[in-house]
Chains A and B, each alone.
Chain A
């Protein structure tokens, strides 16, 4: 129970909420001073997309249940209870399911990037999943909230840069650990 659900839940929720707060409440205001024409909450570096893609890669369908509470919480942070209309919940859930759904869909069409003992998944495979998952998520958000193309393009750019930044941050963290442990 602890290893299967509680520990991943704590790690994913913490990372998702922290990266969300960074992207929307810190990065977005800083970005607005340079590019003020971008609409509200459209962070061009949306790290939570990296968290959901990597969670889905590492934990599969389980990631949907694990990420849902933090995704709904951050949805509430932005929109309040007004965001919990049936359409609003549908929009929020697109972000929750898009990653696992994309891994599942790609596996069905012969591109199985799921984590398996004998698989050798390249980081570009994970980026491809991130691109498709972002499109799925943006279509859902567009249907739920009626965003225009410019806003959805901003979300898409934010998702992709966010995922790549997540991989870079992890890579640098592992490099740091390696250099510390080297004798």
Chain B
């Protein structure tokens, strides 16, 4: 295994520790998604993906990066996917509100 792969695995292991301790810091894109979602959200109303995606905080972000970050925010329980709608909608969780 190459040195860089070893360091990557070490970083991944330490990131797991960070996550479990609840002190992981979100990347810039994920932070901006949360800020944009907070800005466009109306109390307890699901936010449409496009209204976050089109926010000026995220205009420079590639589509694939955006959706990957959204998925990671759902996995990390900052956003909750709201089912049933034709288009994807999300709600900010209590964790995101306290962040």
A residues touching B (Cβ–Cβ < 8 Å)? 3, 54, 58, 115-117, 119-123, 126, 167-168, 170-171, 174-175, 178-179, 182-183
In the complex, the answer to whether B14 meets A170 with C-beta atoms within 8 Å is yes
Chain B residue nearest to A127 in the complex (CB): B17
With A167-B14, A171-B18, A179-B25 known, 10 other A-B pairs at CB within 8 A are A58-B10, A121-B9, A121-B13, A122-B13, A123-B14, A126-B13, A170-B14, A175-B18, A175-B25, A182-B28
Contacts of B50 in A (CB 8 A): none
Complex: A58 Cα to B3 Cα, angstroms? 9
Q: How many residues of B contact A (CB 8 A)?
A: 16
Any chain A CB within 8 A of the CB of B12?
yes
Distance between A57 CB and nearest chain B CB, rounded to angstroms:
8
Contact A170 B10, CB 8 Å, known A175-B18, A175-B25: yes
Distance between B28 CB and nearest chain A CB, rounded to angstroms:
7
In the complex, the answer to whether A120 meets B1 with C-beta atoms within 8 Å is no
Complex: A116 Cα to B28 Cα, angstroms? 30
Distance between A14 CB and nearest chain B CB, rounded to angstroms:
18
Per DSSP, are chain B's interface residues mostly helix, strand or loop, or mixed? helix
Residue in A115, A168, A179 whose CB lies within 8 Å of B9:
A115
> Would you list the 5 A-B pairs with minimal beta carbon distance, nearest first?
A171-B14, A123-B17, A123-B16, A123-B13, A171-B17
In the complex, the answer to whether B11 meets A115 with C-beta atoms within 8 Å is no
Q: Encode B1-31 as 1/0 by CB contact (under 8 A) with A.
A: 1010110011111101110100001001000
Most chain A CB neighbours (cut-off 10 Å) among B5, B6, B13, B18 = B13
Distance between A56 CB and nearest chain B CB, rounded to angstroms:
13
